[in-house]
Amino acid sequence: MQAHKKLARIARPKADDPWPYSDLLDRLGTGDPFGAGIWLASHGCDADVQLTEAEDLIRSFQESTASKAMLAKLGALHRH
């Protein structure tokens, strides 16, 4: 999956020196960087692996209002 490869290539900050969440968004480029996983999950596909990967990536950056909102959105899409 192309989205999976894109997320895997993103440089992650060190745990003791997280970068701003805005840096992550800049690194992902324009558009909806988590859109593929969101679309798949919202259309009944099993995208738990992609969602978890995105959540882990987001958590490696500094917490912000925007990152918390994205984590909530992604978390709500997991299959239960």
Contacts from 14-21 at CB under 8 Å and sequence distance 24+?
15/60, 18/60, 18/61, 18/62, 19/61, 19/62, 20/61, 20/62, 20/64, 21/58, 21/61, 21/62, 21/63, 21/64, 21/66, 21/67
SS3 assignment, position 30? coil
Chain segment 1-23, per-residue pLDDT in tens: 455 566 777 888 888 888 999 99
DSSP 3-state of 8: helix
Encode the chain (80 residues) as per-residue pLDDT tens digits: 455 566 777 888 888 888 999 999 988 877 788 888 899 999 999 999 889 999 999 999 999 999 999 999 999 998 76
pLDDT on residue 15: 84
Does the reported pTM lie above 0.75? yes
Q: Which amino acid is at 52?
A: T
